[in-house]
Structure 1
Amino acid sequence: MNDRTLIVNHSPKSIWAEAFRAFRTKILHSKKGSIVKSILVTSAGAGEGKSVTVANTAVVLAQTGKKVILMDCDLRKPVQHEIFKKRKTNRGLTNVLNGECSISDIVQDTGIPNLQLITSGSIRFNPSELLDSDKFKETISSLKSQADYIIIDSPPVLPVTDACILGSKVDGIILVVGVGKVQPEMALKAKEHMEIVNGNILGIIINHYENFVEQSAYYHYCENVEKAAN
């Protein structure tokens, strides 16, 4: 990871940072249903730019003065500690879920005002079971009382069940669709998987991920996945 990953922090006047701020406006002024405090950001498959989107979304929300906690719930291939240049430790979310420590032991400052980070913790053989536990429900509930927004990174929807488990437990879901990285029918399938678990899909981000690496990105918010697939 390099400094361009947190584009909203390192290049705040860029068109890409402005695109994230436009997305932030959609979140802050969403009129879809009840109050949304916990938001899962996921994708159909790997390599669509999901984790970078999670990190930048958390930063732009924190820049408004909102208290934000970013949770790395990708318990298989976590990367948020790399994005925020934090040393990977054996204390993180999995350790709380296993009763080895408390939430207060794992919340880290990121160096960005109003933004804290919870890393994944030590890798376990049963990530789906941990995320589907009563302890995880308690953890989310506790964090929501401590912050304005909980932004969650997860594995992609189609390869494993983790994202669907998380989708059933959060207030809202954002799907990242990487142009050139996923077929439209796969994006629709991911949407259907979330609907099966009664996930509240707020919208999608269409991400030209390959161009993002070359500093040429475009993000767009839509009302539903069908628009992205057509």
Structure 2
Amino acid sequence: MSKIEKALKRAGEERGNLQLVPAAAAGGRTAPWTAIVGQQIQVPETISRMAENERKLLSADELWERGIIHPQHTGDPAVQVFRELRTKINQQSQEQNAVILVAAVSEGNGGSFVARNLAAAFALDSAKTALLVDCNLRNPSVHQLLPKATLPGLADYFENPEMDVSRIIHPVGIARFRAISTGGLREIPGEYFVSMKMRRLIESLRERYRERFIVLDGPPMSDIADTRILSELSDYVLVVARHGRTTNAQIESGLNAISSRKLLGIVFNDEPRIPWIR
């Protein structure tokens, strides 16, 4: 058994089977997460207040152009994949908010694509909110979702001790979805991730909305130091590899930076059909 298989097996034994399953389980039984269909969902007051501050929402076509899922994209199988991935995380977290690090094995594996769409999947649930945080300092991309790339972000927050965290959280044009970019063009030292202020930031974001899921768009796992630090600040880690391009040796090397206890699984991007998790 390879190191990858051992890590996934150990994660499954410690935290339950992480294989994505169809809506109808074997024997015609309904999968656990379909039980809420038809039930009335009470929207928390905090989410109702968020709606009052939404910027103009993007259309399904605009989201398609940005590579982000939307419930109207009925012909896009990725919508169902990310919804099922969201469901598995909900089951693991027992519906409690969580911090999820999304880390690609190497640059170009599609980690940011998976991170933004996982956040979008959480935002599709009217009883939850999502926050996407750009932690990929060398190749940031979250600013592309904001109305202005120069809006305050992590760099501004770390450099200004008096800045309130609310000033770096911005709407992206998707209901119940907020984002934090890296900020201006200034370079952010990686040492910020090990600072107490980073730890306090994560805790503040977690406590701000109890129904909020925080997705960290992390650096490639080849940056072992930052990956290890961010994984320690997270509840779960989702690894992204590119089908037919990422080698087993690269995946095994990346897994060395994280605890198998936190490993959700590996998303293989660019498979012949759709992204999938194993």
TM-score between both structures, scaled by the size of structure 2: 0.69
Is this contact kept in 2: 1:72–1:119, CA < 8 A? Answer: yes
User: Once the two structures are superposed, what CA deviation does each residue of 1:53-74 show, in whole Å capped at 9, x if it has no partner?
Assistant: 1011101111112111111111
Residues in 1 aligned to 2:239 and 2:267: alpha-carbon distance in whole angstroms: 6
Match status 1:136 vs 2:198: yes
- Judged with a 3 Å threshold, the aligned counterparts in structure 2 of structure 1 residues 119 and 130 are, in CA distance, closer, same or farther, namely same
Aligned to 2:236: 172
Matched length? 212
Aligned to 2:112: 51
Residues in 2 aligned to 1:59 and 1:43: alpha-carbon distance in whole angstroms: 18
- Structure 1: 4+ residue segments shifted above 6 A: none
3-state SS, counterpart of residue 193 of structure 1: coil
Match status 1:98 vs 2:159: yes
3-state SS, counterpart of residue 101 of structure 2: strand
Match status 1:72 vs 2:128: no
Is this contact kept in 2: 1:38–1:172, CA < 8 A? Answer: yes
User: Once the two structures are superposed, what CA deviation does each residue of 1:170-204 show, in whole Å capped at 9, x if it has no partner?
Assistant: 11110011112311111111011213xx7711212
Equivalent residue in structure 2 for 1:146, among 200, 208, 220: 208
Is this contact kept in 1: 2:157–2:165, CA < 8 A? Answer: yes
- Judged with a 3 Å threshold, the aligned counterparts in structure 2 of structure 1 residues 45 and 95 are, in CA distance, closer, same or farther, namely same
Is this contact kept in 2: 1:48–1:207, CA < 8 A? Answer: yes
The residue type equivalent to 2:218 in the other structure is S
- Judged with a 3 Å threshold, the aligned counterparts in structure 2 of structure 1 residues 90 and 4 are, in CA distance, closer, same or farther, namely closer
User: Once the two structures are superposed, what CA deviation does each residue of 1:42-98 show, in whole Å capped at 9, x if it has no partner?
Assistant: 01101111001101110111111211111111122101222x253211620121122
Equivalent residue in structure 1 for 2:269, among 196, 207, 211: 207
Is this contact kept in 1: 2:193–2:229, CA < 8 A? Answer: yes
The structural deviation recorded for 1:114 is 0.8
The residue type equivalent to 1:189 in the other structure is S
Is this contact kept in 2: 1:68–1:150, CA < 8 A? Answer: yes
Is this contact kept in 1: 2:155–2:183, CA < 8 A? Answer: yes
Report matched runs for 1:84-123 at 5 Å: 84-89=145-150, 91-99=152-160, 101-123=163-185
The structural deviation recorded for 1:161 is 2.3
TM-score between both structures, scaled by the size of structure 1: 0.83
Is this contact kept in 1: 2:69–2:120, CA < 8 A? Answer: no
Residues in 1 aligned to 2:78 and 2:67: alpha-carbon distance in whole angstroms: 11
Root-mean-square deviation over aligned CA pairs: 2.4
Aligned to 1:228: none
Is this contact kept in 2: 1:75–1:123, CA < 8 A? Answer: no
Residues in 1 aligned to 2:74 and 2:258: alpha-carbon distance in whole angstroms: 33
Residues in 1 aligned to 2:113 and 2:91: alpha-carbon distance in whole angstroms: 22
- Of structures 1 and 2, the larger Rg is shown by 2
- Percent sequence identity is 26
Could you tell me which runs of 5 or more consecutive residues in structure 2 were left unpaired when the two chains were aligned.
1-62
Comparing 154-163 and 166-175, the one that deviates more: 154-163
Is this contact kept in 1: 2:86–2:122, CA < 8 A? Answer: yes
Residues in 2 aligned to 1:93 and 1:114: alpha-carbon distance in whole angstroms: 21
Comparing 22-31 and 175-184, the one that deviates more: 22-31
Residues in 1 aligned to 2:274 and 2:138: alpha-carbon distance in whole angstroms: 28
The residue type equivalent to 1:153 in the other structure is D
The structural deviation recorded for 1:9 is 5.8
